[in-house]
């Protein structure tokens, strides 16, 4: 049922974002007007919707997204026939280049957390104070990176005990923000998750949007 639900949704994302299933916007196509640069960290067994839907949302919002992973190549989703192309390995990119890092869920996080260079990259990124967003099983990588103790967060219910053992105060909410960490539970939270990421990178744009809406109402 889950596969049937998300295949048409992801198809719409691909149509509106202009990104085919195996190809996400290439770094050489970054335009000057982009609002920010976002790394999406995936591996074999990623969740299709949790990777592609934030990419589609942020691309439409004029952010540049780059898919990174343990190494370059094409990896498969665990829950559908979708694939995604990893354009850069984590050892080929710098945390300074990006404004945010996204950790989709699925089966990939359990494998990514075993990769030392991936964990080091995530830990270094967190230390910059820039946005780190994880959904579903994504927080598992943050646990291994040792950055979750004392945090308030959420995630897939199945990792609740693991989060609490790592010193997390677990909340069953669509989006939980603690410092520079954004967490969400499952695919139904993806819109709120994606929106929270965008707002965290360019909060001034959202403040301006509120002002503009108020002015329109006055008129």
Residues tagged active-site:
137
Cβ 53 vs Cβ 194: under 8 Å = yes
Instruction: For residues 201 and 210, give the distance between their C-alpha atoms in angstroms, rounded to a whole number.
Output: 16
Buried b (16+ CB within 10 A) or exposed e, 139-151: bbbbbbbebbeeb
Element (H, E) at 193: helix 190-201
Sign of CA dihedral 94, 114, 85, 191: negative
Cβ 172 vs Cβ 147: under 8 Å = no
| Residue carrying the six token digits 């954004």 | 182
Cβ 119 vs Cβ 41: under 8 Å = no
Query: What are the C-alpha distances in Å from 46 to residues 34, 135, 218?
Result: 26, 11, 46
Element (H, E) at 68: strand 64-69
Q: What is the DSSP letter of 45?
A: T
User: Considering only CA atoms, which of 156, 147, 154 is closest in space to residue 176?
Assistant: 154
């Amino acid at each position: 049922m889950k596969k049937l639900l998300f295949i048409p949704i992801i198809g719409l994302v691909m149509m509106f974002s202009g990104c085919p299933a195996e190809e996400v916007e290439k770094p050489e196509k970054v335009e000057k007007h982009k609002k920010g640069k976002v790394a999406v960290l995936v591996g074999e067994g990623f969740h299709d919707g949790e990777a592609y839907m934030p990419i589609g949302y942020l691309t439409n919002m004029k952010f540049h997204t780059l898919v990174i992973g343990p190494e370059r190549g094409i990896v498969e989703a665990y829950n559908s026939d979708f694939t995604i192309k990893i354009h850069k390995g984590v050892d080929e990119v710098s945390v300074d280049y990006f404004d945010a890092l996204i950790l989709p869920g699925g089966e990939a996080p359990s494998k990514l957390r075993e990769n030392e260079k991936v964990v080091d990259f995530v830990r270094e990124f967190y230390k910059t104070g820039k946005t780190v967003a994880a959904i579903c099983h994504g927080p598992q990588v943050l646990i291994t990176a040792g950055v979750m103790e004392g945090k308030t967060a959420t995630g897939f219910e199945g990792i609740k005990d693991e989060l609490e053992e790592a010193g997390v105060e677990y909340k069953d909410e669509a989006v939980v923000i603690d410092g520079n960490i954004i967490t969400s539970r499952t695919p139904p939270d993806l819109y709120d998750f994606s929106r929270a990421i965008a707002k965290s990178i360019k909060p001034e744009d959202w403040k301006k949007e509120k002002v503009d809406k108020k002015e329109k109402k006055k008129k």
